[in-house]
Amino acid sequence: MIILKILLGIALLTAGYDLFWLFVAGIGFILGLDIIAPFLPGLPAWMILVIAAGGGALGALLTVLCQRFAIVLAGILAGGYSCLYLSQELVSKSNQLSWLVFIAGGIVGGVLARFIFNWALIILSSLTGATLIIHALPLELSAKTLLFSVLVVMGTVIQAGHMLQKSDHPDRKTS
């Protein structure tokens, strides 16, 4: 599962803006893998992957049926997931305020997704991709902090470049 997280993290870092359905599907996959599966202990690994894939498929379906709702929902989940993981990894392992941190991050992510759609996709997919990658790697705290920062900046720059290329192209008009 470590390889899946790293691959999904790289995909979100580099293509979250271009393939927003991938971003929403990736959030559904993460939700199934990291948040729901621990509540179902004793399941075999293949069943956890099926649950995670189902969450990803649901996310992709939501983007087709109701794009704006799916993006706001993904923003809430991505903001919550990233803040929750980062607070536990970089600040404290304590679970006392976990839900509060998740809710606060979710509110920020949802508001970003609602009001600054393109930049929210870029920022949230970069944060989520970087979070997945550092979560999967057994590094010291200082190395994780540095790698996270580098990955977020790298992902944001790559995706912002994609967005600007699309807006400069004469055959493509963005709204």
pLDDT in tens, 24-61: 888 888 877 777 777 778 888 888 888 888 888 888 88
Closest CA to 37 of 26, 47, 27, 25: 47
Structure confidence at residue 169 (pLDDT) = 52
User: How many other CB atoms sit within 10 Å of the CB of residue 116?
Assistant: 12
Is residue 152 within 8 Å of residue 130, measured between CB atoms?
yes
For position 92, what pLDDT does the model report?
64
Token pair 């759609």: residue: 117
Residue 91 lies in a domain: yes
**d(C-alpha 37, C-alpha 74), whole Å:** 18
Give dist(CA 114, CA 122) in Å, integer: 13
Is residue 125 in some structural domain?
A: yes
Structural domain including 83 reads 2-168
- The whole-number pLDDT of residue 95 equals 66
CA distance 23 to 15: 8
Whether 37 is covered by a domain: the verdict is: yes
Residue 175 pLDDT: 43
Exposure class string for 50-68: b at 16+ Cβ within 10 A, else e: ebbeebbebbbebbeeeee
**Burial code of 132-145, b = ≥16 C-beta within 10 A, e = fewer?**
bbbbbeeeeeeebe
Low-confidence ranges of the chain (pLDDT < 70): 90-96, 168-175
Q: Residue 31: inside a domain, yes or no?
A: yes
Please check whether residue 101 lies inside any domain of the structure.
yes
Establish if 175 belongs to a structural domain.
no
Count up the domains in the chain and report the number: 1
